[in-house]
């Protein structure tokens, strides 16, 4: 900051120079991101609600209504009639809230102090942050031969210190869905909190199932499921940051509540205090703008792009790690080491990401900004590299 005020024009010029250093989704070159460009309508709404602070909902009753409506809508999508929860900054914050609810619930009703959470080794790193912040020990379940959470391994790891079991609906690295129905039963039998991380899959699995795709049940229709994370800022096309945490019961919010003396509400269960209402408003706008049919069409298009890329890769001779379940494909060159292969792709201008679990591989998330024409160009380059 300088002593003297600067001209708007000068500031904007500097900003636009720096903005040029950012990659643009519209180029179709960003292959490894789970985020994408938000829909223009959602951005327009977002800007109108920049001052709405949901940390003090009594002052922003309209925006609070929008948050509640979004939570209800996402809950309905996940087979829950009465949903509780919040629109937060993303999957990370949503997962931390779920783990905090589970920990506090176990502390209050079972007296567990040195708690443990069972997560699959394919879990997102946000659970490491959650465990660290909440003083919990992570116990990692193995994956089975299909790279999904191994049910037997979960059974073996349950102890009298287990405060939560976590399974993933759409893993970050491979887009796979864990055997949630079986794990739900185990959680129920053992009276353990069960959280499903559908940050990635939440805005596609319900729509794909509706369209006839053969995907497993993962939602609140399974009695053992206590909470689900869903990110509107991934396939929901809401602007970042927008994550969703949906709870089956209000008591999971209540066990996290702390007194909030100077605000319009008496207690607060969210992690952050002052928090954006713009995400709730923009998500409300975009889910109603698309409707189930719009999202269904989009989800199917993304899957068609995924199969198109898969077929193209196999035709050339590349090896896919596993059959895609969602719009995410991991593959390798049969002879070139993954990092070296990634460098070659970078030289052609592709921004790739490398999966590590279970094996190193190039990972492409087929998000909305990757069009068929980009995939054609990618396959041309891959032919040359091969």
Ligand X SMILES: *Cc1c(COP(=O)(O)O)cnc(C)c1O
Q: Which is nearer to ligand X, 234 or 248 (CB)?
A: 234
Q: Which of 182, 197, 188, 65 is nearest to 125 (CA)?
A: 197
What sign for the dihedral angle of Cα 98, 100, 104, 106?
Answer: positive
Least gap, CB of 15 to ligand X (angstroms): 25
**Which residues fall within 8 angstroms of residue 313, CB to CB, at 6 or more apart?**
320, 329, 331, 379, 382
DSSP H or E stretch at residue 313: helix 278-316
Residue 300, beta-bridge partner list: none
Using CB under 6 A, count the residues that bind ligand X.
14
Which residue among 70, 112, 168, 230 contacts ligand X (CB under 6 A)?
Answer: 168
Question: CA–CA separation, 353 vs 7, rounded Å?
Answer: 40
Closest CB to ligand X among 97 and 256?
97
3-state secondary structure of 87: strand
* Residues in region 202-221 near ligand X by CB under 6 A: none
Nearer of residues 28 and 120 to ligand X, judged by Cβ:
120
Q: Does 86 bind ligand X (CB under 6 A)?
A: no
Q: How far is the CB of 233 from ligand X (least distance, A)?
A: 6
**Residue 197 interacting with ligand X (CB under 6 A):** yes
Question: With respect to ligand X, which residue has the nearer C-beta, 112 or 364?
Answer: 364
178 near ligand X (CB under 6 A): no
Q: Is 124 in the site for ligand X (CB under 6 A)?
A: yes
- Torsion over CA: 144, 150, 151, 157 (sign): positive
Separation CA 324–CA 115 (nearest Å)? 35
Which member of 86, 126, 269, 280 binds ligand X (CB under 6 A)? Answer: 126
Question: Among 74, 186, 187, 199, which residue interacts with ligand X (rule: CB under 6 A)?
Answer: 199
- Cβ 313 to ligand X, closest distance in Å? 22
Instruction: Determine the Cα–Cα distance for residues 222 and 377; give it in Å rounded to an integer.
Output: 43
Considering only the stretches 65-73, 91-99, 309-317, 344-352, report the one whose residues sit in contact with ligand X under the rule CB under 6 A.
91-99
Least distance to ligand X from the beta carbon of 90, Å? Answer: 3
| Distance from C-alpha of 312 to C-alpha of 138, rounded to nearest angstrom | 40
Respond yes or no on whether the N-terminal peptide bond of residue 241 is cis (omega within 30° of 0). Answer: yes
Contact between 97 and 199 (Cβ < 8 Å):
no
User: Which member of 30, 34, 131, 256 binds ligand X (CB under 6 A)?
Assistant: 34
Minimum distance of ligand X from residue 91's CB (angstroms): 2
Residues that bind ligand X (CB under 6 A): 34, 90-92, 95, 124, 126, 168, 172, 197, 199-200, 231, 243
């Amino acid at each position: 900051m300088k002593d003297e005020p600067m001209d708007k024009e000068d500031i904007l010029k500097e900003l636009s120079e720096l903005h040029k250093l950012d990659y643009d989704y519209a180029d179709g070159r960003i292959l490894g991101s789970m985020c994408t460009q938000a829909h223009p309508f959602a951005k327009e709404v977002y800007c109108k609600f920049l001052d709405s602070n949901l940390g003090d909902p009594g002052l922003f009753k309209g925006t609070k209504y929008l948050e509640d409506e979004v939570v209800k809508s996402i809950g309905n999508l996940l087979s829950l009639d009465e949903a509780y929860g919040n629109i937060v900054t993303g999957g990370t914050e949503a997962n931390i809230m779920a783990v905090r609810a589970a920990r506090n619930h176990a502390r209050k009703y079972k007296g567990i102090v040195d708690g443990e959470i069972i997560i699959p080794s394919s879990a997102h790193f946000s659970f490491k942050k959650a465990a660290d912040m909440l003083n919990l020990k992570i116990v990692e379940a193995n994956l089975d031969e299909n790279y999904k959470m191994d049910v037997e391994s979960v059974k073996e790891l349950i102890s009298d210190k287990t405060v939560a079991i976590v399974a993933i609906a759409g893993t970050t690295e491979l887009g796979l869905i864990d055997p949630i129905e079986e794990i739900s039963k185990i959680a129920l039998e053992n009276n353990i909190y069960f959280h499903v991380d559908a940050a990635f899959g939440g805005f596609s699995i319900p729509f794909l199932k509706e369209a006839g795709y053969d995907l497993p049940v993962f939602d609140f229709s399974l009695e053992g499921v206590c909470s689900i994370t869903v990110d509107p800022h991934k396939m929901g096309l809401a602007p970042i940051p927008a994550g969703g945490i949906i709870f089956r019961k209000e008591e999971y919010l209540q066990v996290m509540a702390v007194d909030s003396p100077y605000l319009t509400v008496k207690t607060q269960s969210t992690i952050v205090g002052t928090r954006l209402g713009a995400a709730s408003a923009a998500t409300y706008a975009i889910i109603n703008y698309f409707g189930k049919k719009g999202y269904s069409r989009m989800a199917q298009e993304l899957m068609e792009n995924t199969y198109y890329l898969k077929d193209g890769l196999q035709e050339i001779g590349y090896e896919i790690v596993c059959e895609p379940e969602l719009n995410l494909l991991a593959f390798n060159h049969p002879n070139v080491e993954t990092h070296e292969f990634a460098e070659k792709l970078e030289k052609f201008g592709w921004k790739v990401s490398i999966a590590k679990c279970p094996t190193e591989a190039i990972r492409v998330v087929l998000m909305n900004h990757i069009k068929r024409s980009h995939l054609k160009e990618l396959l041309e380059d891959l032919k040359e590299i091969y």
